[in-house]
Structure 1
């Protein structure tokens, strides 16, 4: 696992083997950031990373110039790992919360340019993520929600769904909040 772009490009991440995670593969992450590179300006954006795990995605956004990145995970070990690596590499824009993602979303009121969710693939509440994000208006105008999930799962029935990109057994579903007129 490595950072693929920005000021920490090439940094190898070596999380402890006992973390309860399934990190986004380098191949899928590289494909995702190639897509995003053509759609958004990373410099100065605000990002919410749900089910942040190792912090692989949070650190990628921070490395590329995101102004603020919030990582949320219920594992204290994941949160501690992300805090330690962020501190080591001066990623002061990363803040973490040890919390159940759905309980966190229930009280969150801030809006973000981009929300990334990489829940456990066996979580039966994955379709609820987009519903909660849009019902609570957690995206800024033009904001983007990306949910990573198993390729066989279909999340296209939400009105803000834009597209699904498949990378082997993993897929990214993209949801966009329309720009204000």
Structure 2
């Protein structure tokens, strides 16, 4: 995986092969960050990266100047890899070993962007818990976005606070935000 833009542009990060991950492709990541770049100033936001895996998304935010990044994954190897990489690159990433659903129930920290990259084989019911918990617990700032990465074959358009989605190759990003009533 490589960092696409910012301070560490072009740097390659090689994760151990034994990690149970499916990193976001460079093409999909570049498209996603073009969208985010048009909405926010990276140095003004806070980010929560759920199902963080290798930390690919967190590193991209850090490279672009985001200072408040929390990466959550339940796999000890993933968390240790994120901690080591963040330390090696001097990135402001806090790695947390936790079950994402339990974490969303117990945290009270608000974020501008919450990015979730859960396993693609989750059922719709399991996918639906992510926006439900984020919005029930008011974990997004008023102008914030929840972005869920999933297979292009999965449709999340009926879930709470769904806004729209964008597809890139086999990946789809679904965007969720507070609705104005």
Is the 2:147–2:173 Cα contact (8 Å) retained in structure 1?
yes
Deviation at 1:178, TM superposition (A): 4.9
Partner of 1:46: 46
> Which whole-Å CA distance do the structure 2 matches of 1:165 and 1:127 have between them?
18
Give the total of aligned pairs: 179
Q: Which runs of 5+ in 2 are unaligned?
A: none
Deviation at 1:160, TM superposition (A): 2.0
1:1-181 mapped onto 2 (5 Å cutoff): 1-91=1-91, 93-124=92-123, 125-178=126-179
3-state DSSP class of the match of 1:110? Answer: coil
The runs of 4+ residues in structure 1 deviating greater than 2 Å are: none
For residues 63-117 of structure 1, what are the alpha-carbon distances to aligned partners after superposition, in whole Å with 9 as ceiling and x for unaligned? Answer: 11112100000111000111101000111x2001111100111101110000000
> Which whole-Å CA distance do the structure 2 matches of 1:84 and 1:98 have between them?
14
Moved more, 37-46 or 71-80: 37-46
> Which whole-Å CA distance do the structure 1 matches of 2:135 and 2:105 have between them?
12
CA root-mean-square deviation: 1.4
TM-score (norm 1): 0.95
TM-score (norm 2): 0.95
Is the 1:48–1:116 Cα contact (8 Å) retained in structure 2?
yes
> Which whole-Å CA distance do the structure 1 matches of 2:5 and 2:43 have between them?
13
Is the 1:47–1:112 Cα contact (8 Å) retained in structure 2?
yes
Q: Which runs of 5+ in 1 are unaligned?
A: none
3-state DSSP class of the match of 1:154? Answer: coil
Deviation at 1:44, TM superposition (A): 2.7
3-state DSSP class of the match of 2:61? Answer: helix
Deviation at 1:157, TM superposition (A): 1.4
3-state DSSP class of the match of 2:105? Answer: helix
